[in-house]
Structure 1
Amino acid sequence: MNAGRKTPTAATPRPADSAAPSAVRSSGAAPRDLAKIEQAYQQLKRDIMDGVYSANERLVEAPLARVLNISRNTLRTVMARLEYEGLVVLEPNRGGRVRSFSLEEAHDVLRVREAMESLVARLAAERATDEQRAGLRSVLEATEQALKDDDIMRYTALNREFHARVIEAARSPKAASVLESLHFPLVKYQFQAVMVPGRKADSLAEHHDLTSAIVAGDPEAAERSARLHIQQVRATLARSEELTRTKPAW
């Protein structure tokens, strides 16, 4: 899936990632060089996760180094870090490529996400402010309009925003970090699932149920709603694969 493919953008600084390999953190490089590595790493990671580069796409050193405005040696350091995080596969004498996740891996990630999303939903019900609750309702209204307009790109963006707002309301940086790490393996399959007939309306209804529980301050109901939502995503993904296998080849 690469609909609406974005164009790589110039690198912009983001907070340092404490999970970087020790070789990067203790390389003895000057602070200025480390800042440049971090800047390039954050930009390339964001571009990969946003779909700028497709699964299995080869990351050719020379043009990529130009896009990121870094040397090829610096790029190799960045690529090693991304391989450590599971976003890139490095191959001897061939450079790197964006990692592709199998359907089985996607289902496994969704099982983990089910546990994390239900925890985050519970925390959001306990901790959300009035402003955050109002924000969730506002996103749902905008999503309903996008669904009526059959605006798939806006619908998809609002779907991401809804989940981001639930995570924000939970006020758990560690849970947010874990859920961010589960995003990339599902990018391809989430778009595939949302195109199954009826799924967009069903997903919106599930978001309404979750929002109602958070607004009511009901942690148990919020946890159940979030768990059911991810279970339905898994079921829809299985259905989409079945539809793909049985689709006529003409």
Structure 2
Amino acid sequence: MPTAGTSTPEPSADDLSARIRHAILEGEFAPNQRLIEADLSESFDASRAAVRMALLSLAAEGIVERLPNRGARVRAISVSEAIEIVEARIGLETLVARKAAASITSAQADNLRDLGHELEAAVSSGDLVGYARLNQELDARLRDIADHDTARELLERLSAQSARHQFRLAYEPGRAARSAPEHVAIIDAVVAKDADAAEIATRTHLDGIIELLGTRL
């Protein structure tokens, strides 16, 4: 708690952009939802000038779109564009998988195995909300293990753009039962330090997402 005579420092534009991007990724803002500067300023404890700069940055990333004389809103992504995004992710995520397999430590391997067990338990119990959260956690852990900042940044942007489609896919009938073994295969390959298998498992998983999205065209 701040002491008398002090105040909480205002978040930087980059930090504020990251926080708003994360909120969009988590589904807190819907496609086409207007992003009101005054509301964001209050929610994120930032000045309206800082919010405006953050929204300009997110617009440059394609996550937000500016409306003439009407502020900004979350950009809606079509199914066709969502497929293109996953196609772009294949190259980046297979790179991450290979890097992770090459550099994983024993402690990180144990953590990934535990996460795999949690994924399987979530599917067995029908906890789709928990399963979706664990999927995001797996992606984040693999990026941390790979320690490739450029791939991490690009993937975070792409994931935020297609967050709504990703959220809906998690609730497709039978999707979790199919994707859980795919995630476990990725984990097993990375833990085994088998870069080729990690790439194949990652590509197989993402190809399945493209196939499922294609049924919505």
In the superposition, the TM-score normalised over structure 1's length comes to 0.76
Match of 1:182, SS?
helix
Is 1:118 the counterpart of 2:108? The answer is: no
Residue aligned with 2:162, SS? helix
Structure 2 residue 210 is the aligned partner of structure 1 residue 198: no
Question: Cα–Cα, structure 1 residues 76 and 175, in superposed 2: closer, same or farther, change >3 Å?
Answer: closer
Q: 1:161 aligns with which of 113, 121, 137?
A: 137
What is the letter of the counterpart of residue 108 of structure 2?
A: Q
Matched-pair contact (CA < 8 Å) for 2:24–2:163: no
Report the 3-state secondary structure (helix = DSSP H, G, I; strand = E; otherwise coil) of the residue aligned with 2:126: coil
1:83 is aligned to 59
Please give the alpha-carbon distance, in whole angstroms, between the structure 2 residues aligned to 1:80 and 1:196.
34
Q: Which residue of 1 aligns with 2:35?
A: 59
Change in CA separation of 1:105 and 1:225 when aligned onto 2, cut-off 3 Å: same
Q: How many correspondences in the alignment?
A: 209
Rg larger in 1 or in 2? 1
Native 8 Å contact 2:58 2:64 kept in 1: yes
Aligned to 2:81: 105
Q: CA 1:127–1:69 in 2, change beyond 3 Å: closer, same or farther?
A: closer
Deviation at 1:87, TM superposition (A): 1.8
For residue 233 of structure 1, the aligned residue among 206, 209, 213 is 209
Which runs of no fewer than 5 residues in structure 1 stay unpaired?
A: 1-31, 243-250
TM-superposed CA distance for 1:38, in Å, is 4.5
1:179-190 → structure 2 map (5 Å cutoff):
179-190=155-166
**Distance apart, 1:66 and its partner CA:** 2.8
Q: Which amino acid aligns with 1:159?
A: N
* Identical pairs, percent: 33
Measured after TM superposition, the shift of residue 135 of structure 1 is 1.1
Paired residue type of 1:149: S
Q: Deviations 1:147-196 (Å, cap 9, x if unpaired)?
A: 11111111111111112222222122222122112111221111222222
* Higher relative contact order (Cα pairs below 8 Å, separated by 6+ residues): 2
**Does the 8 Å contact 2:22/2:160 carry over to 1?**
no
Structure 1 residues 58-91: Cα deviation after superposition (integer angstroms, max 9, x where no partner): 1123333333334434432332222122221111
What do residues 184-243 of structure 1 show as CA deviations (whole Å, max 9, x unaligned)? 12211112222222211111111122122122221111111111110011112223x26x
Q: Tell whether the 8 Å contact from 1:196 to 1:236 is kept in structure 2 after alignment.
A: no
**For 2:46 and 2:109, how far apart are their aligned partners in 1?**
43
